[in-house]
A and B are shown apart, each in its own frame.
Chain A
Amino acid sequence: MSYHSVVCVKQVPDTAHITGEAMKADGTVNRAALPTIFNPEDLHALEVALEVRERFGGTVTALTMGPPKAADVLRDCLFRGADRAVLVTDRRAAASDTLATSYILSRAVRTLGSVDFVFCGRQAIDGDTAQVGPQLAEKLGFPQVTYLQQFIDLRDRTARLRRNVGNGWEIVDVRLPVLITVLDAAGEPRPPAARRVMQYKRARVRAELEAEVKAERPSAAGTELEAEVERRAEALRARGLMLEQWSLDDIRADPAWCGLAGSPTKVHRVQSIVLTKSGYTEIPPTEEGIRRLIRELVVDHTLG
């Protein structure tokens, strides 16, 4: 048998390490100042897909939607063993909420043809919703198995999976095709393979070539620019280093269901968390000080 797995990966700002520099004067987060990383749980999703390929045969396609810079995570997938990588990028996809994101990803998966597994991370660390996986499953009409802890077995196109549901676990059987969201408990991601890094570090999507040529030849005009981009693309293609880049038209996505227009949720207001020093009562660390504190807590009925 040969199974086709698609892994959805997202490039995210490193929200766990937000420093002073990443805050703007008005107290909001300056995304541009944050380093971007591979969404942590997506690395685990990729690992499970690669293990499925090793155990049962097949191919692994990495799929991401984002700006051209998101090609970074696609290269990382190739370094770690993915067979194919696709970027969906389109201005009309910007500001998509999870419903629009999952619609666009579903069109891209459909465009890939026959698919047996779609793997997602459980949650991305920027939007923090964990909604894209289940929504993508619904759009594809696939059953979903969330919170994968262990991929146990695969027989007769039925996968046996162990999921962690917080207050326990369960083992389920599901017929393919299926969408699975993966926890970080499901296998340690393998590191990039040195040989594959050498092989793929020059891989590019077309939008990156366009940006490179524009930066190198600021005066180049339309057709000249196009010709140079095409020349470089041809050279990369010959070496299997041209990554696929799809627009909404390429995946036959209806723009009305994408981007801001296709997103029913609207961000009305955003506040950054700034520590407000509201002022607390300081208690001296002495026997008498602590006695007073306890007495106060008894008097206001906090303590019985």
Chain B
Amino acid sequence: MIPVNRNGEVWVFAEQEDGALHDIALELCGKARELADRLGVQVGAVLPGWNVRELGYRLIPHGADRVYLVQDRRLEHYQTQPYARALCTLVEQHRPQIVLFGATPLGRDLAPRVASALRCGLTADCTDLDVADVDDPAAKTTHRNLLLQIRPAFGGNIIATIINPQRWPQMATVREGVMPLREPNMQRKGEIVAAPVTFEEADFAVRLVERHREPRKVNLKGARTIVAGGGGVGSKANFKLIHDLAGAIGGAVGASRAAVDGGFIGKEHQIGQTGTTVRPALYVACGISGAIQHRAGMEESAKIVAVNWDREAPIFGVAHYGIVGDLNQVIPLMIKAIKERPKE
């Protein structure tokens, strides 16, 4: 735990793997930049790893003023304890006011270990962050410029705003894909500072024996358009309709869990609470009821088109355009209309 420090920087943990930055690191830099500008402070990024200096130069155009580079051969592959020690050491030295992590499997393994060691709070899986003054009637004070940490809980049925008024830094994990990835500003200046950290033998208690990574086959998060099919598509064979529509638009294929569980398509296409969170320019939902766990992963899309023959389906509650009808008739009409569309 560190004392409240209103001049402290806004930090992000720069997640990387096999020499590549995770998108979330850049998304967080953009958000941290916005928060830091409002607070009138600087943005720091903590980058542990081995041979990762180059990655530091990518963080600066996305908003970092300072990259704290922690390099050690033993940090090549992520391990909880040495990474946690690096973060804790630097937080105690530099006293940032906010520390953000991606709510990735790695981030959700690391952040709680760090928070526990620092004895500070940690808000999980945020979908939005804001800064505001908060009245504290019990203590008859106002906490200035607190981080509002907004997150779904209770299986997605409620949205809670969590604050952390006293024991700093204010730490949160942030869900992937919910903060827009901003255009990098190549003119931005920043520095990379080597941050030495002393590790102990006990930090390396877990020994990696074998490791396997699957190349990301589907890039749902980067897609500008997603056509998603649900239980209403009915069969794996009929899911060809969804592939065809996506092909016509030039978009990626998504799915609800019912479609994945039905074996229509692989799990890596699943969108929602236990799948990928996306915010494309266009999301076309076909034969998807719009259960809350599905909406949690797509409702931030800029434009949503829903095709469902049940007028009462909850998907229409988040749609911008609704087509009440049989997808088996509607989708071929859409494909035809797209092929014959006027060019702007």
Q: Taking the complex as formed, is A239 at the interface, i.e. its CB lies under 8 A from any CB of chain B?
A: no
The answer to whether the Cβ of A230 comes within 8 Å of any Cβ in the partner chain is no
Contact with A along B130-162 (1 / 0, CB 8 A): 000010000000000000100011111111111
The answer for the CA separation of A15 and B337 in the assembled complex, in Å, is 42
Binds A, one of B54-62, B66-74, B323-331: B323-331
Can you name the residue of chain A whose Cβ is closest to the Cβ of B330? A285
Q: Are A265 and B302 in contact (CB under 8 A)?
A: no
Query: A301 vs B166: C-alpha distance in the bound complex, in angstroms?
Result: 47
Q: Mark A272-301, 1 if CB is under 8 A from B, else 0.
A: 110111101111111101110111011101
Interface size on B, residues (CB 8 A): 86
Interface residues of A in 145-174 (CB under 8 A from B): 145-147, 160, 165-174
B212 contacts A264, C-beta separation under 8 Å: no
B146 → chain A closest CB, angstroms: 9
* B89 part of interface (Cβ distance < 8 Å): no
> Which B residues are CB-close (under 8 A) to A28?
158
* Inter-chain contact A290/B337, CB cutoff 8 Å: yes
Answer yes or no: A139 CB below 8 A from chain B CBs: yes
Which chain A residues border B120 with CB–CB below 8 Å? 99, 264
What is the distance, in angstroms, from B49's C-beta to the closest C-beta of chain A? Answer: 16
Is residue A186 contacting chain B, with contact meaning CB distance below 8 A?
Answer: no
B115 engages A173 (CB within 8 Å): no
Contact flag A297-B303 (CB < 8 Å), given A18-B157, A128-B125: yes
Give the dominant DSSP class at A's interface.
mixed
| Residues of B contacting A: mostly | mixed
Q: What bracket does the count of chain A residues touching chain B fall in?
A: 35 or more
B14 adjacent to chain A (CB < 8 Å): no
Q: Which of B26-34, B38-46, B189-197, B314-322 contacts A (4 or more CB under 8 A)?
A: B314-322
Known: A171-B209, A304-B250. A15 touches B157 (CB 8 A): yes
Q: Is B186 an interface residue (CB 8 A)?
A: no
**Chain B residues with CB below 8 A from A172, complex form:** 206-209
Q: A128-B125, A168-B213, A268-B162 are in contact. Are A295 and B341 (CB under 8 A)?
A: yes
- Whether A98 lies near B112 (C-beta < 8 A) is yes
A127-B153 contact, Cβ under 8 Å, with A160-B209, A170-B212, A172-B209: yes
Residues on A with beta carbons closer than 8 Å to the beta carbon of B162:
265-268
The answer to whether B157 touches A272, judged by C-beta atoms less than 8 angstroms apart, is yes
Whether the Cβ atoms of B208 and A264 lie closer than 8 Å is no
A265 touches B164 (CB 8 A): yes
**Do A303 and B282 have beta carbons less than 8 Å apart?**
yes
B270 at the interface (CB under 8 A from A): no
Chain B residues lying within 8 Å of A13, measured Cβ to Cβ, are 154
Q: List chain B residues, Cβ under 8 A from A174.
A: 205-207
A114 in the interface, Cβ–Cβ < 8 Å? no
Q: Which residues in A have their C-beta under 8 angstroms from that of B154?
A: 13, 15, 18, 29, 126, 128
Which residues of A are at the interface with B, using a C-beta cutoff of 8 A? 13, 15-16, 18, 28-29, 97-99, 102, 125-135, 137-139, 143-147, 160, 165-175, 263-273, 275-278, 280-287, 289-291, 293-295, 297-299, 301-304
Can you list 9 A-B pairs with a CB-CB distance of less than 8 A? Answer: A134-B110, A135-B115, A175-B205, A264-B121, A266-B165, A270-B159, A272-B157, A302-B302, A302-B303
Known: A143-B80, A264-B167. 9 other contacts (CB 8 A): A144-B109, A264-B1, A266-B164, A268-B163, A275-B314, A285-B329, A290-B334, A301-B344, A303-B341
Q: Which residues of B contact A (CB under 8 A)?
A: 1, 80-81, 84, 104-106, 108-113, 115-117, 119-125, 134, 148, 152-167, 205-214, 216, 225, 249-250, 281-282, 292, 302-303, 305-306, 314, 316-326, 329-330, 333-334, 336-338, 340-344
